[in-house]
Structure 1
Amino acid sequence: MNITLMKGKIHRASVTEADLHYEGSISIDRALLDAAGFLIYERVEIYNMDTGVRFATYVIEAPRGSGIIGLNGAAARFAMPGDKITVIAYASFDEAEAKTFQPRVVLADRNNSILTHNT
């Protein structure tokens, strides 16, 4: 049996851009990607704290230190610049792994710099 757990989370990030005409994805500052343990092209769930909308897309890299959290393509319809979002990646574990696994949790400030993380 496999169990799905949260692998990593970026909490309270601020959307900085929304580009409807770009191919779909979420652009995330490389520093946040590393802290949360996200991989390029990894599927993530996005929860908009301002609207309650939940959706999924895949990750692409924004430059380290840029503070960019950009929604691209269809994802741009689900949040506006300034909205607060949480981005979560999940992974499957067998029962033994699940009992000991610790997810990476990153709290972002209003400029998308890392406030705290447990990596």
Structure 2
Amino acid sequence: MQVTLMNGKIHRASVTQVDLHYEGSISIDRTLLDAAGFLINERVEIYDVETGVRFATYVIEALEGSGTIGLNRAAARLAMTGDKVIIVAYASFDAAEARAFKPRVVLVDRENRISPT
């Protein structure tokens, strides 16, 4: 049997830009990608804390240390600059793996810098 668990999460990041004409779906600062364990082109779920909108898209890399959380193309219509979002990637595990697995949770401050709490 396989179960699906949260693999990684960036919690309450601020959307820094929206661009209907940019290639890609969500641009995430390289520092945050690495901390959350996200891969380029990986499917992620986005939960907009402000509006309750939930949608899926794929990851592209933004400049390391930039604090960028950018929604692009169709995703740009689903949130506004300044909205707080939760970005989550999921993975499938067998029962033994699932019991031992610990997800990566990245908390950020107002500038999307990694915060200890």
Other structure's SS at 2:40 match: coil
| Runs of 5+ consecutive residues of structure 1 not aligned to the other structure | none
Q: TM-score, normalised by structure 1?
A: 0.96
Q: Which moved more, 1:18-27 or 1:67-76?
A: 18-27
| Runs of 5+ consecutive residues of structure 2 not aligned to the other structure | none
User: Over aligned residue pairs, what C-alpha RMSD do you find?
Assistant: 0.9
Partner of 1:63: 63
Matched, 1:41 2:41: yes
Per-residue Cα deviation, 1:32-75 (whole angstroms, up to 9, x for no partner): 00000000000000000000000000000001100100000000
Contact 1:24 1:74 in 2 (8 A): no
Partner of 1:54: 54
Partner of 1:3: 3
By percentage of residues, which structure has more strand? 1
Partner of 2:92: 92
Q: TM-score, normalised by structure 2?
A: 0.97
Distance in 2 between the 1:51 and 1:16 partners? 16
Matched, 1:20 2:16: no
Paired residue total:
117
Contact 2:24 2:60 in 1 (8 A): no
